[in-house]
Amino acid sequence: MSVIVKINGQELEAAGGQTILQVAQENGIEIPNLCYDPELKPEGACRMCVVEVEDSGQLVTACTTEVSEDLVVNTESEKVVRMRKLLLELLLANHEQECLTCDKAGACNLQDYAYKYDLEDSRFKGRMRKYEGIVSDNPFFIRDNEKCILCRKCVNICDQVQREAAIGFEDRGFETTVTTAFDRPLEEVNCQFCGMCLNACPTGALMEKDAMGKARNWELDKVETTCPYCGVGCQLELNVKDNEIVKVTTNRDNVNRGQTCVKGKFGLDFVTNEDRLTKPLMKVDGEFKEVSWDEAFDTVAKRFGKIKEEYGGEAAAGLSSAKCTNEENYLMQKFMRAVMGTNTVDHCARLCHSSTVAGLAKSFGSGAMTNSINEIENADTIFVTGSNTTEAHPVIALRVKKAQKNGGKLVVADPRKIDLVKYADLWLQHKPGTDVALLNGLMHVIIRDGLLDEEYIENRTENFSAVEDIVEKYTPEYVSEITTVPAEDIVKAAHMYGEAERASILYAMGITQHTSGTDNVLSIACLAMLTGNVGKESTGVNPLRGQNNVQGACDLGALPNVYPGYQAVDDPEINKKFEEAWGVELSDEVGYTVTEIFDAIEEDKVKALYVMGENPVLSDPDSNHIREALEDAEFVVVQDIFMSETAEYADVILPAASFAEKDGTFTNSERKVQRVRKAIDPVGETKADWEIFTELANRMGYDWDYNHPSEITDEIASVSPIYGGIRYDRIEEDGLQWPCLDYDHSGTMYLHEGEFARGLGQFNPAEYMPPQEEPDKDYPYVLTTGRRLFHFHTGTMSRNAEALDAHYPEELMEMNIADAEKLGVGEGDKVKVSSRRGTVESKVTISERVPEGLVFMSFHFAESAANVLTNPALDPVAKIPEYKVCAINIEKVS
Amino acid sequence: MHFFEHESCGKCLPCREGNTRIYEILDRISKGEGVLEDLDKLQDLADVMSNTALCGLGQAAPTSIYSTLDHFKDEYLAHITAKVCATDTCQALVVDDEEEYERSETA
């Protein structure tokens, strides 16, 4: 119901339930405030937003007062202004005016309001709150409580948005202080260092440590760009002075809504780390020596040319990169296909979500997140499985926590007691690798108890009878035997999911990285279709993509079987279309996948490898095998921003520009194509990847004429229908979600509305198959791998980010207390971990997060490289390796 | 005022900061250190608290300021200008010498 209100004489239409402040802001009327944040419940603490109600002359706070019919208010009446000035005077009496040297000056709300209301000083000066100096208990930010005006936003954000409540209030009245429980250092409490408290702080009480003393706010250029870490696609502002990123801030009108995680906020200094590759390197007699770009280009062009000539294009393989832009992935695959003449181009999506692409394409016709990130918040039930969302996709986890806080049900299925379990209504702790059984159990109960959406199944899907046949035997009791989840919890979970009006499934590597990965995904799709939860807002099947641009790299055809836009290379029509577009003859033979490439090198079928921004030595399973293959290859080019473990094996290393040094686009997990903008000049002699490919193609006799990534995007739009409407001038303000078919199309918020991409949704239920390697006498423990909040992937970025690496410098393998006792291992002790494939050493942390018999390691640390241990056994369809389960042995190192 | 300063929860700005400032001003006046502008300040503080405080405590805290400014302004003035406490309540202003008291009365 809408109402008409009058603010400052302006008649405005407002929705019932809106506050005066919201209506004012929507209509461009500014009302000063210090404690309001759109993500928080109205606090009404600072009282700065008082406005005068005309009839009664009363003052009310605009942030807490809902509008009503015929309400007439004045936001700057004489009385209002007098009160605001007095409130500000009270604040200034307790706040040293250190604006001359304060790093917040120029971006400080208190300073702005003092200026607006012409207050030079306060008449009320007296006692001041005193603190023992600046608290600097972590590598990321400082707290200076003498500048704190007790707006309470930091505490509320930590409590209501991050839901950690790491900080709170001590004392009361005038003595109120923001601190941790018992004043313990932040590093010792549950602070996630997301930096959202900093983003919200109106004064200089919380500030980025690294930025202190480097720049006044008005000297900073804010360059809006997309975060290079995970697939959420947070929009960040790089604050640049003199070609240096001084700090990172964010604004609100975007997918992250002003929120960040520790990596985006404090982990971007890797860009200017002194270890960056700055000059092309060539291996001469086993040593790298610096060469000119000219020499490097010539060498690569000649060697690749020779290999093509001698062995044919199929002897070359390319590893594209989920870290690079869409334009660069497009050029990489175009280089391999059009210049070299092979479809062997793949990238790390093979190792994370290839089973998603395979499974969802089969079920729905399109292998991407069906719904959008901001829709998660309005789901009635969220089923999170195989996703440690708070650490791997921190900003998406905030939406999950909010949904749960809003009354939605949260069901978490994970062998580990991940952080999200804290907020879950129900936690199913199943044995690693038993996902199909668990999902079949849920479907069994949904069918048994009549929770299915019969109309939806009838009208929108096919092959339902197969589900009935297969899941019949998966009774809760039977599933309980396989998974160790209590039977009654399986029933409860099925009801929570099946009874919800809008149920959303979020999953990640815990589902995909199994030999049964594709079956897991197919079963998830069945579960969602069974209950009609695809093709509606706030529902869906939502694979959370791990890399900033893994979605884009797939979309742009960095896959051996499809051209950009998932158009099959072995479809003659499609092949012809691309031959015409690119003016060359193209191969219609599907190329090798990542995992197959290294086997093909060993079998001498592939001679030359071009690696752009990937680090297979650390990221691929069974590292020793990868190292051997790299040694065997005749010619290896690595294009990267740092010397990686893989680059050690290169013949030529080409130094690439980082995300901050170039223009382009990334596509986030929700299919949104967003801008990447150049903030600083390329470090050293580095070049953007798209420039490198353009030059190489030209040196190999092709006429590529790209002067800016936007020109590449225009070409992409012309050959890839799902990107058909993407053009730079359309995504300046906000990105577009594909499918975006033409320049008038506004993008697609959620997929499969009314009809699936493939027509009817197809049920493809599967039988449970145990993981390929199970614990035995020699290898009695199960190892599962994954990510940590403070690091990313193989650490190329995060381990070169000073604060992140200082805070979390080494691997701490998680082990259950019972196992620790058995092995005589204490917290921080070193252990030797071995599998059938190799041995690594790691320190141990003893925790309840893992059950007895299971240990967890991340794969971020070269010193404790988990992938030396992992099993390269592949899912038969998607060829994804089983990272999540392998059998290991653990010995204490004395 | 000490009661209100002590009872303030600290959430809203006017009550958290205002009570302390009122207390400080009254304390100064009671010690003979007050100045005439303090009366304006008291009026301002009372207004901002009664008009904008979040709850009844902060809104009602300055009631005594309003009533004393209304009914006992002369006493405030005596404390500020003559440095005298007629009721001998303010320890700092209690005068032992009878003569001196008379002198100050006539002054």
Contact B54 A87 (CB under 8 A): no
Reported as a single tens digit per residue, the pLDDT across A5-17 is 999 999 999 998 9
Residue pair A641/A613 in contact by the 8 Å Cβ criterion = yes
Contacts of A128 in chain B (CB under 8 A): none
Cβ of A90 and B48 within 8 Å?
A: yes
Neighboring chain A residues of B24 at a CB cutoff of 8 Å: 126-127
CB environment A422-456: b (16+ within 10 A), e (fewer): ebbebbbbbbbbbbbbbbbbbbbbbbeeebbbeeb
Q: What is the mean pLDDT of chain A?
A: 94
| Six token digits for residue A435 | 């996902």
Structure tokens at A656: 């690439």
Q: Is the ipTM of this complex over 0.90?
A: yes
Burial class of residue A556 in the structure, from the number of CB atoms within 10 Å of its CB (0-12 exposed, 13-18 middle, 19+ buried)? buried
Q: Which is more confidently placed, A742 or B93? A: A742
| CA gap A3, A7 in Å, rounded | 13
Residue ranges covered by each domain of chain A: 2-76, 124-272, 281-352+549-737, 354-543, 781-892
CB contact under 8 A, B48 and A87: yes
Q: In angstroms, rounded to a whole number, what is the distance separating the alpha carbons of residues A639 and A647? A: 8
User: Looking at domain A2-76, which CATH architecture does it have?
Assistant: Roll (3.10)
Instruction: Tell me which chain A residue has its CA closest to the CA of residue B13.
Output: A46
Tens digit of each residue's pLDDT (9 = 90 or more) over A315-356: 999 999 999 999 999 999 999 999 999 999 999 988 888 899
Whether B101 shows a pLDDT value over 80: the answer reads no
Neighboring chain B residues of A47 at a CB cutoff of 8 Å: 12-14, 52-54
Q: Please check the confidence at residue B49 and state whether its pLDDT lies above 90.
A: yes
Over residues A758-813, the pLDDT tens digits come to 999 999 999 999 999 999 999 999 999 999 999 998 888 999 999 999 999 999 99
Place of tokens 């600083």: A680
**A169 inside 8 A of chain B by CB:** yes
Q: Tell me, what amino acid is at A120?
A: E
Q: How far apart are CA A321 and CA A336, in angstroms?
A: 13
Phi-psi region of A102 (alpha: psi -120 to 50; beta: other; left: phi over 0): beta
pLDDT digits (tens, 9 = 90+) for B58-79: 999 999 999 999 999 999 999 9
Q: Is B47 on the interface with A (CB under 8 A)?
A: yes
* Average pLDDT rounded to a whole number, residues B2-21: 95
Buried b (16+ CB within 10 A) or exposed e, A634-654: bbbbbbbbbbbbbbebbbbbb
Residue A531 Cα distances to A108, A463, A639, A750, angstroms:
50, 15, 47, 17
Per residue in A213-231, pLDDT tens? 999 999 999 999 999 999 9
Lookup: tokens for A645:
């473990």
Q: Tell me how close the Cα of A212 comes to any Cα of chain B, in angstroms.
A: 29
Residue that the structure tokens 């499974």 belong to: A359
Beta carbon pairs, A and B, within 8 Å: 86
Residue among B12, B44, B48 whose CB faces A45 most closely: B12
How many percent of chain A have pLDDT more than 70? 100
Res. B95: pLDDT tops 80? no
Average pLDDT score over residue span A528-557:
95
Closest by CA to A420, choosing from A125, A162, A631, A227, is A162
According to the model, what pLDDT value does residue A273 have? 93
The CATH number that domain A124-272 falls under is 3.30.70.20
pLDDT of B92 reads: 85
* Residues in Cβ contact with A197 at an 8 Å cutoff, skipping those fewer than 6 apart: A153, A154, A157, A158, A167, A206
User: Which candidate, A564, A524, A563, A517, places its Cα nearest to that of A353?
Assistant: A517
- Chain B residues with beta carbon closer than 8 angstroms to that of A94: 17
Closest B-chain CA to A94: B17
Judged by CB atoms closer than 8 Å, whether chains meet at A174 and B14 is answered as no
Spatial separation of the C-alpha atoms in residues A522 and A889, rounded to whole Å: 33
Instruction: Residue B74: give its domain's CATH number.
Output: 1.20.1440.230
User: What is the CATH number that goes with domain A281-352+549-737?
Assistant: 3.40.50.740
Quick one: average pLDDT of A718-724?
A: 96
Collect all residues of chain B within an 8 Å Cβ-Cβ radius of residue A86.
Answer: 14, 44-45, 47-48
pLDDT confidence band for B99 (50 / 70 / 90): low
**Cβ distance of A47 and B53 shorter than 8 Å:** yes
Please check whether residue A41 touches B, CB under 8 A: no
Question: Three-state DSSP class for A562?
Answer: strand
Tell me the β-bridge partners of A173: none
Q: Give the C-alpha separation, A387 to A384, whole Å.
A: 6
Determine which helix (DSSP H) or strand (DSSP E) holds A293, and give its type and residue range.
helix A293-311
pLDDT value for B105:
61
Q: Architecture of domain A781-892 in CATH?
A: Beta Barrel (2.40)
Per-residue pLDDT, B16: 96
A118's torsion region: left (phi>0), alpha (psi -120 to 50) or beta? left
Residue length of chain B: 107
Can you read off the two tokens belonging to residue A415?
């062998």
* Contact residues for A175 (Cβ-Cβ < 8 A; gap 6+): A129, B10
A78: left (phi over 0), alpha (psi -120 to 50) or beta: alpha
What pLDDT does residue B91 have? Answer: 85
**Nearest-CB residue to A176 (from B6, B10, B24):** B10
pLDDT at A36: 96
Q: Supply the Cα-derived Rg of chain B in whole angstroms.
A: 15
pLDDT at residue A693 is higher than 60: yes
H helices present in A347-413, as ranges: 349-352, 354-363, 389-392, 394-405
Q: What CATH number labels A354-543? A: 3.40.228.10
User: What Å distances lie between residue A321 and A548, A557, A639, A840, A877, CA to CA?
Assistant: 10, 11, 10, 27, 22
Read off the pLDDT band of B94 (50, 70, 90): confident
Counting the structural domains of chain B, the total is 1
Q: Do A124 and B14 touch (CB under 8 A)?
A: no
Residue type, B49: M
Predicted TM-score (pTM) of the model is: 0.93
C-alpha–C-alpha distance, residues A538 and A536, integer Å:
6
B17 interface with A at CB cutoff 8 Å: yes
Residue of chain B nearest A85, judged by CA positions: B48
For residue B40, the chain A residue with the least C-alpha distance is A123
Give tens-digit pLDDT for A65-110.
Answer: 999 999 999 999 999 999 999 999 999 999 988 999 999 999 999 9
**Picking from A239-248, A350-359, A514-523, B3-12, which range would have the lowest pLDDT averaged per residue?**
A350-359
* Range(s) of the domain holding residue B11: 2-106
